[in-house]
Structure 1
Amino acid sequence: MNTIASHLTGWLLTGLLLFALITPTTDTSLARPESYGDQAIPTTSTTDTLFTMNPAIFTSPGTVNTLVPLSDGRMLIGGRFVSISGQPTPRSLAILKSDGTVDTTFQVDSRLTVLDVYEAAVQTDGKIIIAGRFIVSPSILTYFLLRLYPNGLLDETFNTVGIGGPVLAVLIDGSKVVIGGAFYQPTPYVARLNPDGTADSTFNGTGSGPNDTVRDIARQQDGKYIIVGDFTQVNNTPQTGIARLGTNGVLDTGFVRGGSMVSKRVAVLRDNSVVVGREDICGDSSFAWYTPDGVLKRMPLDLDPDPNWLASITALVALPDGGFLIGGWYSAVCINGFPTQHQGEVWRYTADGTFRTMVSFGDNSDILALAVRSDGHVVVGGKGLPVRSSEIGIFDGLALLNPAYNGLERVPAFHPLVGDEATIYSISRYADGKLLIAGNFSHVNGSPHFGLARLLANGTLDPDLHPFANDPGGYSLPTLVLPNGSALTGFRSNQLFLVGTNGNLTNISALNDYRSVTALAIQSDNKVLVGSWGWLRRLNADVSDTDPTFTIGNVNGSVYALAVQGNKIVVAGDFSSYNGVNVPGLVRLNSDGNIDDTFTPPAFQTEYSQIGSLYSITPLPDGDLIVGGYFKTVDGEERPNLVRLNNDGTVDTGFSSPTSFHTVQSTCLAGDGSLWVGGIANTYGRHPFLTHLDRNGQIMPTTFPNTYQAAHYFDGAIHKLLCDANGLTWVSGTFSLIDGKPFYGLARYAPLRSQVFLPQIIR
C-alpha cells in the first residue's frame, strides 16, 4: 500500500466493501458475442444496463482433503469448497493464516475450474503441485495434476497432460515429484516426474508396477518409497496393499514380504518406522506398524484403546516427539455388520505405542487430513455433517489442536467455517419486500440455517427467522409466502410445514399424505395448490384442511410447476396422464380441479422421443402461456426447451425458441412484456445460464452480468427468477461465480442509471 492510501484506510475499506457488493458491468469487451450452443448471444447494450449485488453467503458443508504446512504457521488447504468463514475461495484451494483467516494474497488462477482437490504438495521453490480434477479454460479437457506459482497463477511449463487418470498421492523428492493414483500413464499407478512434468525414465522398476490404485506415498530417510493402496501385485510379484520401492522404482521384496492388507494411508515416523491405516468397518484390523525393515511391530498388550478399533483410518501424521496421530471414524457398536455411529476422531500415540489422548468431532464427521504447523500445533481437516442440534458447530471442516504436555487440546479461537456450494431452489416475496429463500444449504453468512432463511428487503439476513434450527441437514424445495405473512415450505422428501411470521412451525404433512412437495401456488381467493409426486391437492385459504370442492389430481409422475391463469389452473411436470386422461406433461384445469377441455396442449418430446419434462409456466396478460423445460420438439417441430402457447394450447409459431438452453428452469415477465429466462446452458459443462428475450423470443440488447459458473463445473443451474414491473430483480440456483466474481447461489439485479456511489467517510 502506498503512503497516500495508508492515510485513507477508513474510507478505502468502505469503498472496497461497496465494490464487493455492487458489480457494475461497464467493460467494453462485452460487445463481443459469446457462443452458447449453436447460437451467438450478443451482449452489446442499446437499452438498459443492470448490475448485480451479492446479498448473502449461502453455503453447504465443505470438505478439506489435504493440508500442507507453510512458513509462519500458515497452511495450504485443498478439497471441495467455495468459501472459508465467508471469504471467497471458489476454486477449492486456499492459504490460511495462523488465526484461520484466508490469506487473500493467494488467488487461484481464474482460468482454473476445480472439480476436486485430492492432494497437494509444495516444492522447495514455493510452487504448488495440486492433484484432483481440473479444467483449464478455454479447454474442456480434465487435468489430474497441475502446478501453480506461489501466488496461485497456473504454471504452464509443467506438462502433465499425459496423465490419464486420478492422482491421489503426491510426494516431493528434491526436484522430482512422485505420484500415485488410478492412472496408467506415464507408468501404471505410480510414477516419478521431472521438474517439467515429464516422466522420469530412471524410475521404471523391473516390471509392470502395481496392478491397482496407489492411494498414499511416504519416503524413508534412505530415499526409498513406501506405497499403499488397492494393489495385490507389484512388478508381477504378489504384494498386497503395501510395498517398498527403491529410488529406481524396483520392488524391495524383503519389506513386508507379500504385503498385508489393502490400505489407505501411510506415514514414516521419526525413527523411520512405518504406520499404515485402512478401512475395516466392524472389524479389528485397520492399523499396522512396521519396523524400518518391514517387520510387524506389536502394540502394547494392555493398550486401550487399540487403533484397530477404528472403523476407518483416513489420516496419519508423524509428530516431532516420535509419536503419531491417527485420524478416522469410530463406532462403538456394530449390529449385524452395520456401525451405529460415524464419529470422526483423532487419537494420539507415543513413540512406543502408548495411547495418550483423543479428540472427538461429533457423529457424521470425517477426519481426512492432519498436518503439523511450523509452530507445533496440529491442523485437522475433513467434513462435518451434523444430524442433531447438539452436533451443530462441533466441526465445520477445520480445527486446531495443541499437542503440548502430551495432550491434544482444541484451540477454540480457531474455528473456520468451510463452506461448499449451496443450491437455492425457490424464492418467494413478502408484501414488505422481504424474501423467503428455500434450498439445500446449512449456513447463511456463517450462521446455521438449514434449508430456509429470510432476507430483509435490503438483502441482508433476517436473524429472527430460524425455523429449522434443530434439523441439521434439512433442505427445502418450493416455498410460498401467504398474504398473512406466514409461509408454506416443502421440507425434506415428505414434509409440508406452515411457517409462522416468527418462524414457529406447524407440520401439515398429513394434508399432503406425507408426499414430496414439488410445487406451490396461490389463487386469488388465497386457496393454495400443492403439487407433489403422484398428485395435486388444494388447501383451504387458512391451510387447515384440504378443499373438498376440488377434485384431487392423480398423475403418473411429478408436478414441477403450477400457475393460476384467471379462474384456470395450469399444471406441468413429467407425467403422461392426469386422472386417467392422456396428457403430455401439461394440463389446464377449471377452478373445481376438473380438466379444461377447451385447452389441448401439444406433445413435448426429447430427442429420444420420450415425454419432456416441464419446469416452468408463465401466464401472459393476453391469455397465452410461456412453457419451459427439457424438450426438443413440440408437436413434432423443433422448438427446444421454451415455447409460447396460445390460449387454446396450440403453438404460437411467432415465438422463436432459443437454442442456447439445455433446460429452462424458470421464466419471469418484466413490465415491458420482455421475458427473463434461466436454466442450464447448452454447453459441455451444462453451465447455469440467464438471458433476456423480447415478446417473440429474440435476444434483447441488455447489458448485464451474465456469465454464470458453478464452482465444480458441472451440475450448475439457475432455478428461480423474480421480476417486477422494472424487470429482473432476483436470480437463484446452483452457482458460485458471476462474471468471475464470487456469488453464493443468489444474486440481486438492479438498473444502473448513471448513479455515482461515493464511499462513506469513517473518522
Structure 2
Amino acid sequence: MKKIYFLLLVFCLFPCVNAQSPTDRDPNFNQFNLPLNHYSVEAEVKKSKVLSDGKILLITGNKLIRLNGNLLDTSFNTGSGFSYFSGAGILHDFVVQPDGKIIVGGEFYSYNGVDVDDLIRLNQDGSIDTSFNVQGVGFENGGVTQIELQSDGKILLVARQTTQGGIYNNLKRLNSNGVLDTSFATVPNYNFGKFAIQSDGKLVVSHNTNNDFYSYVDKVARLNTDGSFDTSFSTANFSLMVGSGSQLKKILILNNGKILVGGRFNRCSSQSYVDLVRLNNNGTVDSSFQIGAGFTEGMTSYRYDYVWEIVEQQDNKIIASGTFDKFNNINKKNIVRLNVDGSIDNTFADPIGFLNIEGIKSVSFFSDQKILVSGHLGNTRKLDRFIAKLNIDGTKDSSFNNTSKGFYDIPIKTVVQTPDGKILIGGNFHSYNDRLCSSFTRLNYDGSLDNTLTFGGFNGIDVGAVTAIAPLSNGQIYLGGSFSKYNNTNAATIVRINGDGTKDSAFNISGTGFSSSGAIKKIYPLSSGLVLVGGAFTFFNDSSCSGLVRLNSIGQIWGTFDIGNNVKTIVGQNDGKILVGGALSGTTVDGIIRYTSTMGVDSTFVLDPLITSSVVNSIVVQQDGKILIEGQFTVNGVNTNFLRIFSNGTLDTSFNYSLQNSGFSIVDFILLPNQKIVLSLSDNSIYQRKMVRLNNNGTIDTTFSEQYFEGDDSPNLYCQTDGKILLYGWLLKYQGQPARSMIRLLGEDYNFVQGQTRFDSNNNDCDLNDNLFTNLKIQVVSGANNNYFIANTTGNYSTAFTNGSHTITPVFENPNYFIASPSTVNVTFPTQASPFTQNFCITANGTHPDLEVAILPVNPARPGFDAVYKLIYKNKGTNTQSGTLNLNFDDSILDLVSANPVATNQTVNNLSWNFTNLQSFETREIMLTMNVNSPMETPAVNGGDVLNYTATITSVATDETPNDNTLAFNQTVVNSFDPNDKTCLQGATIAPGEVGKYVHYMIRFENNGTANAQNIVVKDMIDTNNFDINSLVPIKGSHSFVTNISSGNKVDFIFENINLPFDNANNDGFVAFKIKTKPTLVVGNTFSNSASIYFDYNFPIVTNTATTTIAALSNHDFSFATYFMLYPNPVNDILNIETKQTIEVSSINIYNQLGQLVVVVPNAQNVSKVDVSNLASGNYFIKINSDKGTSNTKFIKQ
C-alpha cells in the first residue's frame, strides 16, 4: 500500500486523506545518489559485447539488456522478457547483425508474451523482428548455445541437441530469414561444441566421437562450407589427465589464419599444453606458440582452471581470460595478455587489486581499444563485480562503475544502534554504497557511511563474518564472528575496537578464540566492565567453556556456566538481572534461565510448569516487565512458538498469539515503543514471507498493512529508539523497489489534523458559500522542530503527526492583509482523537489591493522553433479587481502563433488582455506560443541570444506591492537542452536595486524512465546566506503539489500520485516559486540554486546550477576609451568595435536601460562587429569582459 511519500507532515486533497503508514519506507534513510536509469549489474554476465556506437549489449541473469555507459538504454525494451514454462528463460548467446538487429539463442518458449522457441531475432528497439521465422529445425534439451554470422548473412548455430528422424545433429545453418539452409549438413550423430568461421567460410569446430553423441567434445576439426569434414585438416585431440574429460570453451581464428583453442585440458595431440594452444591452419600444433606451464588454479585435487575467452587485439597480442590464478607460474588472476609467441605481456597490469570477477567469460573492445570484461562474481572483496572496463594496460577505467546502492553480496547478520543514534552493522558483506567495508561498518542516523570509522570499517576483516556486536558507553565496540584477524593483527573470533575503528590492543585474544566458526551469537557487556559471550561453542582459547562465558577487560576467562553449547540470546532487565535463552542443558530450566547482576542463578525465576521448552531463540522485555519469548514450546500439550510470561516465569494467559499453527514460523520479532509487536514470518511450504503487527495482547493488528517480501527468507528486524524499523538480512526488494539487504521503515502510527481554509468575504463567518483560501502556509512547532508546510490549490489540508504536543499557526505572505480564526491551534496526541478536524476562517484586515504577474517558460526557446509560455496572474489582495495584463516583446524576432485566451489588443511589440472580477486568491493563466526566428531569418536568432519579455498587470486601484506588478523575463536562447533543469527567470544578472526583492525560479522535469512515475519530489536546498527561506512562495505547478520546508533550508515540492507518463507527449512537468534575496548582498555577489528530482524511489536527477550575479554597469576595471573605439554611434545595424591596444576579449554583453541583458556574444576574442539591427530604438550599454577586467560605455540605437 503506497502512502504519502517523503514527509512526516504532508498536505493532500481533502477529504480523501492519505494516511502515512508505519510500513512506509523512510525516504530520508540512505539517500545515496545515482543517476536516473543507472543500471547495476547484479547477476552473472554470460556474454557482453561493445557495439559499434559504444553501447554495451549483455546477457545478465535471464535478461538481455543494453547499456549506454552505466545507464540503462531505455530505447531498447524487452518488455516481460524471455520465459520458459512458468519461470524465466535462460539465454546463452547473441549476435548483432550489421543492420543492428540482434539474434538471441537460449532456452525459452516465449518472448514478451509471444510464443517463440529458443531462437529469435529482435529489432534495434527490442521488438520482435517478425520477418524472422525459424523453420525446418527443432531444438531440444538445452536450446541454442552458440550463434555466429556468415559474411553472406546466413546464420550458423549450435544447439545442445536437435533431432531429425531420430538422428542427432546439433550444428545448423539458417538462411537470413530463419529457414533451414538444407545445403549445409554435417555427418549424423556428431555432437558439436564450439566453432569459428574462417575467412573462406569453412568452420573450425570442436566435436565428440561419432559413435556416442554424449561423449566428451574433445576434438577439433574443420568443416567445408557444405558441412562435410575437410580431410586436409588434421584433427586435434585434447585430453585431461586429472578429473573428468577435457572441455573446449573457445575457438578463435587469428588474423594470420592460425587457430587458438581455449578451455580445460593439459594435452593437445599428445603435446603438453595447459588450457590454451595454437594450431596451424592445417590443424597441427604450432610449436612456436609456447606458454610454459600454462594456466593453473589453486585447487590440486581437482582441476578448476579454464580459459573461457580469447580475443585478439589490433596489434595481434592475445587476451586470455577465464578461471585461473597463475599463468606459467606467474600470479595472474583470471585475465592475462600474451605476446604473439605466447609469452606473458608484462605491460598488462594484473587487475586483481580491484576486479572481483571470477570466470571472465567475455572480453570485447571499445573503439579506443579499452577493454570490457565480464563474468560471474568472484570470492574477493573488491568493488568491480560482474562487469568492468579496463584501460589498454589493464588498469581500471573509472569512467565505468558497476555501482549499487546499499550492501552488496552476503546479507547482514546483526544490527545495533548506539546511544548517539548511529547504526552498527555486521555480516559477511564487502561494500556499502560502493565503498569497501568488510563485514562491519557504522552508519550515521540517516544511513550514510560514517567516515569517522577510518580503519576497521573499511578493511578490518578481510575474511569471515561479524555475527555479534555490542557497543560500550565509552564508544568502544565488541565484535564477534568467524574472523581470525582484524586490521591484519590477531583477533581470534572476538575483538574490541575503538570508536575510530582501530583495534584496542588491551583486549588481546592471543589464542584460537572460540571453537566453532560463526559460533558467537550474542555479546552482552556488564556494568562491571566484564563481558558475557554466548553462542554455540565448547572451547575458548583451548579452555573448556560451553555456550556462555564471561571475559574480563583484557580478554581472559572470568567465569564459565554449564548451560550447554547453544546460547542464542542474552537480554538485560532494568533491575540488572540477565535473561539467557537457547537450546540449554545442564540446568533445571529448559530454554531460558535468569541470572542476577553478579551472575548467580536467580531462583525467583521459575518457568511455568505448563510450559515445556526445547529452545528459546529470542527474548524481549516489555516496559511493564513482562517477557516475550520466541522459540519451540508446548503449553498444556499444545505446540506454539510465541508466548509471554510474567517477570517470575508464570505464563501470561492474557496473551493470545493467534498465528500459532498457521504454517508461518517466526524469523524475528521486535517490540515497538507503543508496545505493539512486529513479526517477520516465513512459510517455506508455500514460499511466502511476510511482516505483520500484533497488538500487545497478541491479536493481529488489522490497522497494520501486511507486507510481503522477496528474497530467500524474511528479513530480520531492529527497532530504533525512535520507533523506526530497520529491515535487514535477505532483502532484495520492498514494495517493488530495490532494498539491497537493509532499509528503514517509518515504524510509527501517525495522527492527523485536517480541515478546510475559507475566505469570509462578507464578514458573516465562513460557510460553504465562501471561496476556499488556497496555498495556505502553515507553521508547525513540535518541541524544538520548526517546520513550514504549504497546501495545494484546493483549500483543503491534512497534516500527519507523531504523538506529542504540536502548535499549528497559519502564516500569510502579507501578514497585515488577513486575520485567521483561530490564529493558533494546540493539539496533543494521543490525548486528542485522530483525525482532529480544524478549519481556518480567513477574513480581510481592511482593504488591500494587490495583484501579481509572472511569466513561465513551458519549454526552452530554440532558434526556428515554437516557444510556449504561461502568463500567470493572481489577486493576492482582499478585494475583487478588474484590469489589464500587458506583455511587451520584440516583434521582429518573435511571431505570435497562438494565445488562449486570445489577446484583447495586439500591436507591434505588445499584447494585452483585459480581465474582470478577479477574486481574492484567484489565479488565472494565459497560454502563449511564440515562434522564434531561425539563424536564416532577418533578424537572425542564434543560441546565446536573449529574448526579453516584460509582463505588467494594472488596475484602477493603487497596488500596495507594485514590485510584483511587473516581471522582466530574460530568456537565453539555446540550441540543445536538458529536460530536467532549473532557470532563474530574472536571468544571469540583476541590478543592485533588485537586491532584497523576489527572484523567480522554474524547475522542469521529464520522466525518461520505462513506466509512469507515481510520485515525484523536487528537493531544493536553499542557501540561507543568500536567500530568505521564510519568503518562499510557490507560484505554479504542472500538477497538484504541496510544499514542505524543514531543517531550516530544505524545500520539498511533492507531487503525490502524479502518475507522470513516460511517453514523449505527456512526460513533462514543472514547478515555479519565488523567493527573496538577502538585502545584505552587494554588487559582485552571486546567488545560485539547483535542485534534485526524485522519480519514485529512483536515484535523483540533479539539475544545472542557475547562477545570477548582482552587476552594476557603472563599475569599470579600465577605461573603455583607452582600449576601444565604438562606431557609428548612433547606430542603425552594425556596431563596430575597434581595438586600440592589446587586450584579450572573452565576451560582449549589451543591456537596455532597465538593466536587462539583450545581446550576448560569447567567445568574442576575434569579434569586431555586433549586429544590433533587431534592437528597438533607444539607449543601450555595451559591456566588454576581458583579461583586463570589465568596462562599458553607452550607445544609441536609431
TM over 0.5: yes
Q: 2:468 aligns with which of 475, 478, 486?
A: 478
Distance 2:635 2:177 in 1: 52
Corresponding letter in the other structure for 2:30: P
Equivalent residues of 1:166, 1:181 under 8 A apart: yes
**Does 2:587 align with 1:587?**
no
What residue is the counterpart of 2:415 in the other structure?
Answer: 427
Equivalent residues of 1:480, 1:487 under 8 A apart: yes
What residue is the counterpart of 2:51 in the other structure?
Answer: 70
1:730 CA displacement: 1.3
**Does 2:269 align with 1:269?**
no
Where do residues 156-305 of structure 1 align in structure 2 (5 Å cutoff)?
Answer: 164-165=141-142, 169=146, 171=148, 178-180=157-159, 190=170, 207-210=188-191, 216-221=194-199, 226=204, 228=206, 235=213, 240=218, 242=220, 257=235, 259-261=237-239, 262=246, 263-279=248-264, 284-293=273-282, 295-300=283-288, 303=290
What residue is the counterpart of 2:514 in the other structure?
Answer: 514
Where do residues 429-578 of structure 1 align in structure 2 (5 Å cutoff)?
Answer: 429-465=417-453, 466-468=455-457, 469-493=459-483, 495-506=493-504, 508-509=508-509, 513-515=513-515, 516-522=519-525, 528-534=531-537, 535-539=546-550, 543-545=553-555, 548=558, 551-556=560-565, 558-565=566-573, 568-573=577-582, 575=583, 577-578=584-585
1:502 CA displacement: 1.3
Equivalent residues of 2:105, 2:146 under 8 A apart: no
1:667 CA displacement: 0.9
Distance 2:167 2:5 in 1: 47
1:544 CA displacement: 3.5
What residue is the counterpart of 1:52 in the other structure?
Answer: 26
Q: Which runs of 5+ in 2 are unaligned?
A: 12-17, 34-39, 240-245, 298-304, 484-491, 538-545, 753-798, 801-1041, 1045-1050, 1054-1088, 1091-1105, 1107-1198
1:587 CA displacement: 2.3
Corresponding residue SS for 1:709: coil
Equivalent residues of 2:295, 2:326 under 8 A apart: no
Distance 2:327 2:56 in 1: 36
1:674 CA displacement: 1.9
Residue deviations 1:567-588, cap 9 Å, x none? 5544444x4x5237694xx222
Distance 2:43 2:323 in 1: 18
1:554 CA displacement: 4.8
What residue is the counterpart of 2:94 in the other structure?
Answer: 121
Corresponding residue SS for 1:362: helix
What residue is the counterpart of 1:33 in the other structure?
Answer: none
Corresponding residue SS for 1:441: strand
Q: 2:678 aligns with which of 671, 676, 679?
A: 676
What residue is the counterpart of 2:338 in the other structure?
Answer: 348
What residue is the counterpart of 1:607 in the other structure?
Answer: none
Corresponding residue SS for 1:129: strand
Corresponding letter in the other structure for 2:676: S
Q: Which runs of 5+ in 1 are unaligned?
A: 1-18, 27-43, 81-90, 605-610
Equivalent residues of 2:622, 2:628 under 8 A apart: yes
Distance 1:496 1:385 in 2: 27
1:181 CA displacement: 5.4
Equivalent residues of 1:95, 1:102 under 8 A apart: yes
Aligned length: 674
Q: Please say which of residues 282-291 and 189-198 is displaced more in the overlay.
A: 189-198
Distance 2:735 2:8 in 1: 9
Alpha-carbon distance change, 371 to 496 in structure 1, aligned in 2, over 3 angstroms:
same
Structure of larger gyration radius: 2
Equivalent residues of 1:187, 1:209 under 8 A apart: no
1:436 CA displacement: 0.9
Corresponding letter in the other structure for 2:561: I
Equivalent residues of 1:45, 1:702 under 8 A apart: no
Corresponding letter in the other structure for 1:618: V
Distance 1:478 1:158 in 2: 59
What residue is the counterpart of 1:693 in the other structure?
Answer: 694
Distance 1:570 1:144 in 2: 60
Equivalent residues of 2:222, 2:230 under 8 A apart: yes
Distance 2:349 2:275 in 1: 19
Sequence identity (%): 18
Residue deviations 1:44-80, cap 9 Å, x none? 9897563333527799997544212223212224446
Distance 1:659 1:130 in 2: 47
Q: 2:658 aligns with which of 656, 666, 669?
A: 656
1:96 CA displacement: 3.9
1:511 CA displacement: 9.1
Corresponding letter in the other structure for 2:371: V
What residue is the counterpart of 1:608 in the other structure?
Answer: none
Equivalent residues of 1:228, 1:265 under 8 A apart: no
Distance 1:649 1:227 in 2: 77
Where do residues 361-372 of structure 1 align in structure 2 (5 Å cutoff)?
Answer: 361-362=351-352, 366=358, 367-372=360-365
Distance 2:8 2:171 in 1: 46
Equivalent residues of 1:398, 1:418 under 8 A apart: no
Corresponding letter in the other structure for 1:348: L
Corresponding residue SS for 2:53: helix
Equivalent residues of 1:539, 1:545 under 8 A apart: no
Corresponding letter in the other structure for 1:537: L
What residue is the counterpart of 1:739 in the other structure?
Answer: 735
Where do residues 384-399 of structure 1 align in structure 2 (5 Å cutoff)?
Answer: 396-399=385-388
Equivalent residues of 1:50, 1:703 under 8 A apart: no
Corresponding letter in the other structure for 1:666: D
What residue is the counterpart of 1:359 in the other structure?
Answer: 349
Equivalent residues of 2:417, 2:720 under 8 A apart: no
Alpha-carbon distance change, 20 to 63 in structure 1, aligned in 2, over 3 angstroms:
farther
Corresponding residue SS for 1:73: coil
Residue deviations 1:27-49, cap 9 Å, x none? xxxxxxxxxxxxxxxxx989756
1:428 CA displacement: 0.7
Alpha-carbon distance change, 130 to 467 in structure 1, aligned in 2, over 3 angstroms:
farther
Alpha-carbon distance change, 690 to 69 in structure 1, aligned in 2, over 3 angstroms:
same
Residue deviations 1:702-734, cap 9 Å, x none? 566934323xxxx34413322446x44211112
Distance 2:703 2:452 in 1: 37
What TM-score, normalized to structure 1? Answer: 0.70
1:467 CA displacement: 1.0
Equivalent residues of 1:122, 1:172 under 8 A apart: yes
Q: Which of the pair has the greater relative contact order for Cα pairs under 8 Å at 6+ separation?
A: 1
Distance 1:431 1:104 in 2: 45
1:474 CA displacement: 4.4
Q: Please say which of residues 59-68 and 499-508 is displaced more in the overlay.
A: 59-68
Superposed CA RMSD in Å reads 5.4
Equivalent residues of 1:345, 1:359 under 8 A apart: no
Equivalent residues of 1:238, 1:258 under 8 A apart: no
Equivalent residues of 1:421, 1:734 under 8 A apart: no
Distance 1:23 1:368 in 2: 49
